[in-house]
Amino acid sequence: MTIWIDGRAACTASRTGKGQWVLRAVTALLKHTPLTILTDGSPVPESWRVPNATIRALPKGLTWHLAAMRMLRNERPHIYVAPSSFIVPSILPGSIRCIPVVHDLIAFQRDPHEWKALCIERLTLGRTLRRAAHICTISDSTKKDLLKQFPFVRSEDVSVVFAGPLDEHPPVSIPDHQTILCPGTLCPRKNQQRLLQAYAGLPVDLRKRYQLLLIGGRGWKDEEIVSLAQNTPGAQWQGYVPEAQYRALLSRCTVLAFPSLYEGFGLPVLDALQRGIPVLTTNRGSLPEVAGDCAVTVDPESVESIRRGLERMLTDGNLREKLRECGPQQAKKFSWERTAEILLSVLQ
């Protein structure tokens, strides 16, 4: 059986959540089955340089989609997996079996979203779902949103494949008792603006003891976030950091704050739980599904709720210890090996 997959999202130095999912899901699949990975000529991850991987580089940009469609029509693999873009699946003939992986329904939510991605997904996702041989989502929450948004999709035609953490067996973090870490691309959906406002409302002694460190590249409608980070004493925006630095920050932060308005999964929450880092997150999207009872959840639209949650976590050592013990057990529910096994059952 020949399986082709779009690997472009993983072939960049500044991977977002989709890129991380593609990187690690493909790496896990390659341990079990050969794959032909379509790229845009960018350097591929080292974990893909294995005998089971055949790399096919196509031109970048709009030309990539046209070239991929022509190649699929000519060579007709058994399955084409589309884990990050629905343009090719939406125009492929029905005779080519395609399995899209839906990460979230952000483009169909009321929460802010980047306009180009919103337009493309609204134009292509419905058509892709109608043509799909099967559909995968990365959380039960996303599956629920998908079935609600597209009533013509049957529940039995959707499989939840989940995700896994950054590392298989990382060391438990040793908190520095001075850092609140918030990872994520700067944009309204990640909600850094309210987090900064909540941090600014903490008692002075807490702000002197704990810095709020934002890491992540610039996204959209982020001017106010950048300005607020630069003008809030005790807060700092560090920009995008490579994985090695992200790991180092995880190894020592005291709290991970992830107050997103909506997530299809929430990989940073899982990374923190696995390492025993107390997590503050929200009661929206997939985040309660990933965190279980092992995080402090807040209302993401309430600055006061976020402020109270932060203050509670920073002043209650017993709570932090309880979360440190609970998190790794919750994280064990998710792994890339589990994701690969579910994907393989779908593909076969």
pLDDT over 70 percentage in the chain: 99
Stretch 187-206: mean pLDDT, rounded?
96
Handedness of CA 51, 53, 57, 61 (dihedral sign): negative
**194 and 79 in a common domain:** no
Buried b (16+ CB within 10 A) or exposed e, 247-261: bebbbebbbbbbbbb
Are 152 and 44 in a shared domain? Answer: yes
Q: Are residues 183 and 101 in the same domain?
A: no
Residue 172 lies in a domain: no
Domain count, the chain: 2
pTM above threshold 0.75: yes
Domain that holds residue 54: 3-161
Question: Are 133 and 187 contained in the same domain?
Answer: no
DSSP state of 188: G
State how far the Cα of 281 lies from the Cα of 297, in Å rounded to an integer: 5
Local confidence band at 113 (pLDDT 50, 70, 90 cut-offs): low
Here the CATH number for the domain that contains residue 119 is: 3.40.50.2000
pLDDT, one tens digit per residue, over 251-304 is 999 999 999 999 999 999 999 999 999 999 999 999 999 999 999 999 999 999
Average pLDDT for the chain: 95
Q: What is the mean pLDDT of residues 20-25?
A: 96
Both 218 and 128 in one domain: the answer is: no
Same domain, 7 and 154: yes
